[in-house]
């Protein structure tokens, strides 16, 4: 199998772990020169090689712990996953040498777009961490009590027992779900299971409250041909590359829920009247976020950093 760069804990594969495994399989296997560098994935152990051949691969937000070590002269290159994230880091850590910074966005294996039936119930899906905005989506759904032709399918862990604030949040979420029989809780599922469900889903809504640095769930939803609605918080407008419905983020959850409710109603109208044409934009999503496209950018990155 050759040299392994990232020691990925495969007991649970989240977004970062998925990217690292794909880099090993799809990128480093094709560009072996990248294996000669010392890769550091925040927030892992920071072991800088004294010869300075160190690359920091950063998926975290600038607010997640002390990442001041990125300013160390021994760090030769820093790879960010979005321009939003890059901007936040250089504002938070002005000592970072911007000439060392690169943006190489995440990528996914494309989801083959099947024909979708919009005549029956619309399947709305939320497949991010529940504490990142699910409460706002449930509030919006509660304002649409007359809509009986919609189901909300929730994928995510609502059974944590180790983080106090998450426990309090999930108890609130479970109560809200119990009050609406249109909500279907799937719990935590593998990425493969979620991707399979997206083939039959119709709509994705993410009233984000977390400073995402990228958003793989949104990328997957776009690839599967879903009508996607997000607020303008953090990286979401950048991730959506103009193919999603973006509304302004509002601090007040109830005010935002009202806006989101109207966007959901409008989205259902577009789907039911066949005025939403996913097939027209999916080729652009595949070009932007497929691994076949992304590997070309990694090749360019490798050529730049390995120039003698």
> Model confidence over 254-303: pLDDT tens digits?
999 999 999 999 999 999 999 999 999 999 999 999 999 999 999 999 99
Whether 86 shows a pLDDT value over 60: the answer reads yes
Instruction: Give the pLDDT confidence score for residue 73 in this predicted structure.
Output: 97
Whether 42 shows a pLDDT value over 90: the answer reads no
For 161-182, write each residue's pLDDT tens digit: 778 888 888 889 999 999 999 9
Mean pLDDT of the chain: 93
Instruction: Give the pLDDT confidence score for residue 2 in this predicted structure.
Output: 45
Q: Count of CB atoms within 10 A of residue 240's CB?
A: 22
For 184-238, write each residue's pLDDT tens digit: 999 999 999 999 999 999 999 999 999 999 999 999 999 999 999 999 999 999 9
Instruction: Give the pLDDT confidence score for residue 1 in this predicted structure.
Output: 38
- Average of per-residue pLDDT across 55-67: 94
Instruction: Give the pLDDT confidence score for residue 4 in this predicted structure.
Output: 67
- Domains identified in the chain and CATH numbers: 15-107+290-305 (no CATH), 122-285 (3.40.50.2000)
Instruction: Give the pLDDT confidence score for residue 136 in this predicted structure.
Output: 98
Instruction: Give the pLDDT confidence score for residue 57 in this predicted structure.
Output: 96
pLDDT band at 143 (very low <50, low <70, confident <90, very high): very high
Q: Which among 60, 44, 13 has a CA at the least distance from the CA of 234?
A: 60
Whether 308 shows a pLDDT value over 60: the answer reads no
Phi and psi torsions of 255, nearest 5°: -65, -40
For 14-36, write each residue's pLDDT tens digit: 788 889 999 999 999 999 999 99
Instruction: Give the pLDDT confidence score for residue 35 in this predicted structure.
Output: 94
């Amino acid at each position: 199998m050759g040299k392994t760069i990232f020691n990925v804990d495969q007991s649970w594969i989240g977004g970062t772990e998925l990217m690292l495994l794909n880099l090993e399989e799809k990128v480093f296997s094709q560009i072996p020169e990248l294996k000669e560098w010392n890769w550091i994935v925040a927030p892992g152990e920071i072991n800088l090689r004294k010869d300075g051949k160190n690359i920091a691969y950063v998926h975290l937000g600038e607010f997640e712990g002390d990442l001041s070590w990125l300013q160390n002269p021994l760090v030769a290159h820093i790879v960010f996953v979005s321009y939003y994230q890059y901007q936040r880091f250089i504002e938070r850590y002005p000592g970072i040498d911007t000439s060392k910074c690169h943006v190489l966005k995440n990528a996914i294996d494309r989801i083959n777009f099947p024909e979708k039936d919009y005549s029956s119930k619309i399947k709305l899906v939320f497949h991010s961490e529940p504490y990142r905005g699910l409460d706002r989506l449930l509030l919006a759904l509660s304002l649409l009590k007359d809509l009986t032709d919609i189901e909300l399918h929730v994928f995510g862990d609502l059974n944590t027992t180790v983080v106090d604030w998450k426990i309090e949040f999930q108890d609130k979420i479970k109560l809200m779900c119990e009050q609406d029989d249109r909500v279907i809780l799937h719990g935590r599922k593998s990425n493969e299971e979620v991707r399979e469900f997206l083939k039959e889903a119709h709509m994705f809504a993410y009233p984000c409250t977390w400073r995402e640095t990228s958003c793989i769930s949104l990328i997957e939803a776009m690839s599967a041909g879903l009508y996607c609605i997000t607020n303008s918080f953090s990286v979401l407008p950048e991730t959506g590359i103009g193919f999603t419905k973006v509304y302004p983020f509002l601090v007040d959850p109830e005010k935002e829920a009202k806006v989101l409710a109207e966007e959901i109603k409008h989205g259902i109208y577009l789907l039911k009247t066949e005025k939403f044409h996913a097939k027209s934009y999916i080729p652009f999503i595949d070009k932007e976020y497929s691994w076949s496209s992304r590997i070309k950018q990694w090749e360019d990155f490798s050529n730049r950093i390995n120039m003698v």
